[in-house]
A and B are shown apart, each in its own frame.
Chain A
Amino acid sequence: MSTANDNKWIGQRTLRPDGADKVTGRAAYAADTTMPGMIWGKVLRSPHPHAKIKSINTKKAEAYPGVKAVITAKDIVDFPLDKSVMLGIQDMRWMARNVMAREKALFAGHPVAAVAATTEKIAAEACKLIEVEYEVLPFVIDVEEAMKPGAPVLHDFVKFEGKPSNIAGTLEHKLGDVDAGFAKADVVIERSFRTQPVHQGYIEPHACLVSVSDGKATIWSSSQGQFMVRAMCSYLTGIAQNDIRAIPAEIGGGFGGKTIIYLEPLALVLAKKTGRPVKMIMTRTEVFHASGPTSGSYSKIKIGATKDGMLVAARGTFCLQAGAFPGSPIRGAAGCAFAPYNIPNVHSDGFDVVSNRSKVAAYRAPGAPIGAYGVECVMDEIAEALKMDPLELRLKNAARMGTKAAHGPVFPRIGFVETIEEAGKHAHYKTPLPKAKDGKLYGRGVASGFWFNAGGESSAQVNVNEDGTVVVITGHPDIGGSRASTANITAEILGIDYKKVSVLIGDTSVIGFSNLTGGSRVTYASAMVVTQSTEHVIGILRERAAKIWKIDPDAVVWESGEARPAGDNAGKFEPLSLGQIAAQATATGGPIGAGKQLNTTGAEGGFATHLCDVEVDPALGIVRVLRYTAFQDVGRAIHPGYVEGQMQGGAAQGIGWALSEEYIFDKNGKLDNPSFLDYRMPVCSDLPMLDSVIIEVPNPKHPQGVRGVGEVPLVPPLGAVSNAIYNALGRRFYSLPMSPPKVLATLDLPQAAE
């Protein structure tokens, strides 16, 4: 369902401007770039999950033929532990220690030194010659274990209730009085849920190429934010920002995992020391060991409802694993879990828990899938207890315009109800499923979800070329086809052919500050600044036409790609096309272009409802998703193909998280499955077609009505798949992944008394 489309480009499935390069292999990703004189960097990593670093001797490595430099933490700027230094949501104290271990190695895979040498092979061999003296300490990885009194403490300065602890932070949202609410409830369901760390799973490992000349650095990297790269490298190396040019290479997937840096500051210091460009690429094993997966978690959810299906109280505690340094996404878990529902009494709190695994990095709606998993499963149990259709329960309690969410805002016009209604009407929901057939069992589940979405800083520059074509420069790396959306919008506003618009992502030296590609904000934010820039350009075009016609600019309108006199009173002039005006730019006042830099606001949260059908082989415990449909309010689909792509990609990641993905640690605290063979992401044959239904309830605060779309899709699947399996087997699961051995083991248990 979508609104009537009287647009020429917005809402069309145009060919993305960078597309031909991507299908021919010409597109330059960070690992594809080379420079003359380039040498290679490699990282030495701690084999221990927790150890004091007593000494590092790099002499033998430095003497190895072909080695040009060896660095350790002493080559990175120190941020004393007693003062927080925030850069966005990252604390540079942790970032400095994450890119290179300082006092301690805090996870197996933690960088302790780096080498630059003439070949990758030599650099790797030289790493083996670095002598590190460790004092091995007891370690703890699991979030519940890390919270227990007596657990090995990672950081002496982290205190909880006055005592050294691994609980590094908490947060709380309160609305109403939950005790009073539960007292009124006819049905109360309380459950605990556990999840394992899961990785974003981008197919392109982290990579960068850094060159330093005369103290000025150029960085090509695979990243979700070249301004973040520049800023973090500036902080960590002491080089001023104007002397760092961070260029975003094409990026092979991020999903939040590339919103921080790992290799860039190391390559930068190595490049500076050696006077040679330094290239660094993580192997897949390194990606798994040392780049942040999202948190493992332990949550307790309690929801109460009256017998007519009204939710009266909700309590949620979310303990999320931060990894080596504080900063797990408790905000996403505690803030989003109950947000789809209008519940008068809510108390949710989050615990940020450090433990000896790699530092967590953002993963598509960070924290929200974890929060929603438990809530959506409990909602399913409540629906069952009340003998209500699960969609009906959600509809009855759905957040609408005016609902106050526990995390603070009052929702404006939102399209959540529409997602539930569309799901209920859809052929998927109406198609009956057999209970059993040929030894297999079948079930259907539903779940909903919410994500905050973000606005944030964005800059754009729109320039008209002398031949009337247009170049747009924006500041956010394109990870999902956003250049196509930008071109759609620019062409639409100007009224020119889409193919006459070129869109480039500018580096930090050529475009104004733009915040990360993440937070479901690229189309939202860049559309705003591109719109304003383009409207400014139209103002200029009208002025130029007015000059040419010698009339008042107010008497000129811009329509269908042309300047026209506003009415017969203005005079009888032939319309001037963009090309015609551009050809006279010099004569009429100079180059035609405009830019805008804004901290965009007005981004409202996103809502989705998902339907999932599963087939279970009860003899082997294997679950297959047979049918999946996602319903999401996207505000306005600037490019429907790429909007659907976000919905499908998030659903696929969620299915993997629910059924097969997990970090498995061995008894030595080292990751046992750091490969795509044993870290099991869905392959093509694992999934059915992923139907996606775009619902457009325009965001009134955005010029095109856009709402962020990228992250919400990962929020409902964990609950949808879990509820479908329950529907098939009559067994609830309270931990993920629901892998075959776990499913089979649960089937073997006697049916739990309810």
Chain B
Amino acid sequence: MTDIEYLAPKTLDEAVRAFHAGAGNARILAGGTDLLVQMRAGTVRPGLIVDIKKIAEMTTVEETAGGGFRIGAAVSGAVLRDHPKLKKVWPGVVEAANLIGSTQIQGRATAGGNLCNGSPAGDSVPAMIAAGAVVTIQGPTGRRELPVEAVPKGPGRLNLSPGEIVVSFTLPARPKGSSDAYLRMIPRTEMDIAVVGCGVSLTIDNGTCTAARVGLGAIAPTVLLVEAAAKALIGSKVVGSKLDDAALAKAAAACSAACRPIDDKRGTIAYRTKVAGVLLTRTATIAADRAGRK
């Protein structure tokens, strides 16, 4: 029976050093809403737990010089919800982070943990992908950036090197007429893991959709950036904040086509594939409605 060590470093360098030295046997603790569950189930047995909540850069939300946001990877969903400006500019990202679990879970769960848990069903990930978030990573060899969709490799696996820690998410500045939305399908009204999750971010300029990004979750080994769906929306006509039906239908079909889901206790292949299209339509509609008011 090994003893587990717990460390709460105050600097990122200290955290990276300790995490790297843990040589694959260390785990990062942010909100703990995945880690502790896995430890209890015996599926994860860390030798070292590195608690990163004392590191300023990871626990703050800042506006960047260009008008975007830098969200520390260890900021909880509840803190994001309470941020006065973030939900006005990125309502989809904020609502996605605040659909994880329950009020209690949102008091702890973080976008960083949600991403690095590597579940294709993590709620915040499709919204982050749709937002075009860029992830800042710190490791033993230094700092680098990756688009958020490049981080997950497969269920429970990441494209990170040993010792690397996700530090923050940077959301770009928003052109006028932009907004986002996130919807998921769950059987109950709360608490469930997403059967399908869809994030859409749009820009509408002068009656035309000029930019779009679509993130789709729980339908493949990783959350997907569905470029075909975005392409179907870009250039389409928007009348009074309503997207063109044909464009929506094409985008929805692209989402269903992108699905490579599994049958499991939460949903079947057929069901997920169908729902992906339905959710795209609804999510994009909400995003467009919000964008039209910006």
- Residues of A at the B interface (CB closer than 8 Å) are 121, 125, 285, 619-622, 624, 659-660, 664, 672-673, 677-678, 680, 682-683, 685-686, 739-741, 744-745
Q: Of residues 175 to 232 in B, which have CB atoms within 8 Å of A's CB atoms? A: 185, 187-193, 195
Determine if A741 and B268 form an interchain contact, defined as CB atoms under 8 angstroms apart: yes
Interface size class of B (residues with CB under 8 A): 20 to 34
Give A678 Cβ to nearest chain B Cβ, in Å. 6
Interface centre among B187, B189, B191, B266 (most CB of A within 10 A): B187
Determine if B191 and A744 form an interchain contact, defined as CB atoms under 8 angstroms apart: no
Determine if B265 and A673 form an interchain contact, defined as CB atoms under 8 angstroms apart: yes
Determine if B188 and A686 form an interchain contact, defined as CB atoms under 8 angstroms apart: yes
Determine if A741 and B265 form an interchain contact, defined as CB atoms under 8 angstroms apart: no
On chain B, the residues within 8 Å of A622 by CB distance are 185, 187
On chain A, the residues within 8 Å of B195 by CB distance are 740
26 A-B residue pairings within 8 Å (CB atoms) = A285-B41, A619-B278, A621-B271, A622-B187, A624-B189, A659-B187, A660-B187, A660-B188, A664-B265, A677-B192, A677-B193, A678-B193, A678-B266, A680-B188, A682-B188, A683-B188, A685-B188, A685-B189, A685-B190, A686-B190, A739-B187, A740-B185, A740-B195, A741-B271, A744-B271, A745-B270
Query: Which residue from B1, B41, B190, B274 sits with its C-beta under 8 Å from A744?
Result: B274
For B281, give the chain A residue with the smallest CB separation: A619
Query: Which residue from B1, B192, B278 sits with its C-beta under 8 Å from A620?
Result: B278
Residue B267 at the A interface, CB < 8 A? yes
Q: Give the CA-CA distance A349 to B41 in the complex, in Å.
A: 43
On chain A, the residues within 8 Å of B188 by CB distance are 660, 680, 682-683, 685-686
Counting from the closest, the 8 A-B pairs by CB-CB distance are A741-B271, A685-B189, A619-B278, A664-B265, A672-B265, A686-B189, A685-B190, A686-B188
Give A282 Cβ to nearest chain B Cβ, in Å. 14
Q: Give the CA-CA distance A624 to B189 in the complex, in Å.
A: 9
On chain B, the residues within 8 Å of A660 by CB distance are 187-188
Determine if A620 and B189 form an interchain contact, defined as CB atoms under 8 angstroms apart: no
- Residues of B at the A interface (CB closer than 8 Å) are 1, 41, 185, 187-193, 195, 265-268, 270-271, 274-275, 278
A683-B1 contact, Cβ under 8 Å, with A678-B265, A741-B268:
no
On chain A, the residues within 8 Å of B266 by CB distance are 678
For B195, give the chain A residue with the smallest CB separation: A740
Determine if A683 and B189 form an interchain contact, defined as CB atoms under 8 angstroms apart: yes
Give B109 Cβ to nearest chain A Cβ, in Å. 14
On chain A, the residues within 8 Å of B274 by CB distance are 744
For A679, give the chain B residue with the smallest CB separation: B265
Give A118 Cβ to nearest chain B Cβ, in Å. 13
For B272, give the chain A residue with the smallest CB separation: A741
Determine if B271 and A677 form an interchain contact, defined as CB atoms under 8 angstroms apart: no
On chain B, the residues within 8 Å of A682 by CB distance are 188
Q: Give the CA-CA distance A621 to B186 in the complex, in Å.
A: 11
A677-B191 contact, Cβ under 8 Å, with A620-B185, A664-B265, A672-B265:
yes
Q: Give the CA-CA distance A621 to B188 in the complex, in Å.
A: 12
On chain B, the residues within 8 Å of A620 by CB distance are 185, 275, 278
For B278, give the chain A residue with the smallest CB separation: A619
Query: Which residue from B190, B275, B278 sits with its C-beta under 8 Å from A683?
Result: B190
On chain A, the residues within 8 Å of B190 by CB distance are 683, 685-686
Determine if B191 and A740 form an interchain contact, defined as CB atoms under 8 angstroms apart: no
A680-B192 contact, Cβ under 8 Å, with A620-B185, A672-B265, A740-B187:
yes
Q: Give the CA-CA distance A622 to B274 in the complex, in Å.
A: 13
Determine if A683 and B191 form an interchain contact, defined as CB atoms under 8 angstroms apart: yes
Q: Give the CA-CA distance A121 to B41 in the complex, in Å.
A: 13
Interface centre among A685, A686, A741 (most CB of B within 10 A): A741
On chain B, the residues within 8 Å of A740 by CB distance are 185, 187, 195, 271
For B102, give the chain A residue with the smallest CB separation: A683
Determine if B271 and A125 form an interchain contact, defined as CB atoms under 8 angstroms apart: no
Determine if B191 and A741 form an interchain contact, defined as CB atoms under 8 angstroms apart: no
Q: Give the CA-CA distance A686 to B188 in the complex, in Å.
A: 6
On chain A, the residues within 8 Å of B275 by CB distance are 620
Q: Give the CA-CA distance A704 to B271 in the complex, in Å.
A: 54
On chain A, the residues within 8 Å of B265 by CB distance are 664, 672-673, 678
On chain A, the residues within 8 Å of B268 by CB distance are 741
Interface centre among A624, A682, A744 (most CB of B within 10 A): A744
Q: Give the CA-CA distance A672 to B263 in the complex, in Å.
A: 13
For A283, give the chain B residue with the smallest CB separation: B40
Q: Give the CA-CA distance A683 to B188 in the complex, in Å.
A: 8
Determine if A680 and B187 form an interchain contact, defined as CB atoms under 8 angstroms apart: yes
Q: Give the CA-CA distance A620 to B188 in the complex, in Å.
A: 12
Give B38 Cβ to nearest chain A Cβ, in Å. 13
Q: Give the CA-CA distance A659 to B192 in the complex, in Å.
A: 14
8 additional A-B residue pairs with CB within 8 Å, beyond A678-B193, A745-B271: A285-B41, A683-B189, A685-B188, A685-B189, A686-B189, A739-B187, A740-B187, A740-B195
Q: Give the CA-CA distance A121 to B3 in the complex, in Å.
A: 12
Q: Give the CA-CA distance A281 to B20 in the complex, in Å.
A: 38
Give B282 Cβ to nearest chain A Cβ, in Å. 8
On chain A, the residues within 8 Å of B271 by CB distance are 621, 740-741, 744-745
For B193, give the chain A residue with the smallest CB separation: A677
For A121, give the chain B residue with the smallest CB separation: B1
Give B27 Cβ to nearest chain A Cβ, in Å. 19
Q: Give the CA-CA distance A621 to B1 in the complex, in Å.
A: 48
Q: Give the CA-CA distance A285 to B42 in the complex, in Å.
A: 12
Give B198 Cβ to nearest chain A Cβ, in Å. 12
Q: Give the CA-CA distance A682 to B189 in the complex, in Å.
A: 9
For A124, give the chain B residue with the smallest CB separation: B42
Q: Give the CA-CA distance A739 to B1 in the complex, in Å.
A: 43
Q: Give the CA-CA distance A672 to B265 in the complex, in Å.
A: 7
Give A656 Cβ to nearest chain B Cβ, in Å. 9
Q: Give the CA-CA distance A677 to B264 in the complex, in Å.
A: 14
For A685, give the chain B residue with the smallest CB separation: B189
Give B184 Cβ to nearest chain A Cβ, in Å. 11
On chain A, the residues within 8 Å of B189 by CB distance are 624, 683, 685-686
Give A736 Cβ to nearest chain B Cβ, in Å. 13
For B101, give the chain A residue with the smallest CB separation: A677
Determine if A125 and B1 form an interchain contact, defined as CB atoms under 8 angstroms apart: yes
Q: Give the CA-CA distance A660 to B187 in the complex, in Å.
A: 7
Q: Give the CA-CA distance A285 to B271 in the complex, in Å.
A: 28
On chain A, the residues within 8 Å of B187 by CB distance are 622, 659-660, 680, 739-740
Q: Give the CA-CA distance A745 to B195 in the complex, in Å.
A: 16
On chain A, the residues within 8 Å of B278 by CB distance are 619-620
Give B67 Cβ to nearest chain A Cβ, in Å. 36
Q: Give the CA-CA distance A162 to B265 in the complex, in Å.
A: 39
Q: Give the CA-CA distance A624 to B267 in the complex, in Å.
A: 18
Give B12 Cβ to nearest chain A Cβ, in Å. 33
Q: Give the CA-CA distance A683 to B195 in the complex, in Å.
A: 18
Q: Give the CA-CA distance A514 to B202 in the complex, in Å.
A: 68
Q: Give the CA-CA distance A664 to B187 in the complex, in Å.
A: 15
Give B260 Cβ to nearest chain A Cβ, in Å. 18
For A621, give the chain B residue with the smallest CB separation: B271
For A665, give the chain B residue with the smallest CB separation: B265
